[in-house]
Amino acid sequence: MTDSALPRLLRPRALKPGDLVVIASLSGPLHAAAEPDLEQAVVVLERTGFRVRRARLLEAGRHHWWSAARPAEIAEELNTLLRDPEVRAIIAHDGGQTALGYLDLIDVEAIAADPKPILGYSDISLLHLALYARTGLVGFHADCATPGLGGAWQTAPAARRAELEKLYWTLLTGTEAIGALPATPSWECWRPGRAEGRLIGGVINRIVLAQATPYALPLEWFDGAVLFWEETGGLAAHVWSYLQVLRHSGILDRIAGMVVGVPHAIDGLGTGAPDTSPTLREIVLDVLGDRDIPVLGNVEFGHAGPNLPMPVGIRVCLDAQQRTLSLLEPAVRP
């Protein structure tokens, strides 16, 4: 499929030093024990050069069931941030289980009028996918504030932390293509090959859920795409089942390549012992069968943290044999 058949990308305006970034509870609540990590995330963002504000619902102890508030309240706060011209970016404090409750309440006209980077992963994958489907908005599948910037970043080696800070700053403020993302020895070629296409993905269970809503990506948008996904929790059999759903839906027949994140807390993954505990590589190749597409595995994005940013909708080049993933265009506009 040609680029002309794909949605027109809606790129946010590039951030500048001094711009206001708001940390918001877009899904799960803030637990009191996580307050120090949230404060550290603020330090990271301010050191990078941004002004930082906490949204109203981001208050330790505030919750409704497993959420920061009722879905309609979260949507109201998100819409307020989307409509506020002073707010230049929104970063989710954490993931959770709430985005499905308000996908239909988001002010997409406000996004079209003033697109802003929304950063986060996990449940926030639903926002990236649904908003890309509805508006063409580039979604920033990247670290959340509390478990990421204030958590995993702080335990990473200093050199890696500095590398990530520079990468995130360049992605949000630069209007030139970044090129190759910084690789590590953990990256594995699971099936060789090279592909160029739009980057689409998130947590695999959220991809499957998103495709079951009215805000699903049209199947043709997956033509020639590079699908990235990761998973946390659950069972190895669940991952196999989600991949089978993508096979049955036709998505695996349409994509040109796949990038798989570091698995996190998945029961039943092992070292490939016969008939007992398959590796993630074995699961992926089993479902792909004879679909001969490049697959790059064990890439650092998702719950294992800290995250490499994966901008949804941006054209990328994947070379699994060379173990490279390159961003071919900017995620923001001047």
Catalytic residue IDs: 122, 230, 303
Q: Give CA angle at 31 (29, 34), nearest 5°.
A: 120
Q: List CB contacts of 132: < 8 A, sequence separation 6 or more.
A: 7, 138, 139, 200, 217, 312, 313
- Give a three-class secondary structure readout of 117-170: CEEECCCHHHHHHHHHHHHCECEEECCCHHHHHHHHHHHCCHHHHHHHHHHHHH
CA dihedral sign of residues 70, 74, 75, 77: positive
Total Cβ atoms within 10 A of residue 54: 17
Residues 6+ apart with CB under 8 A from 159: none
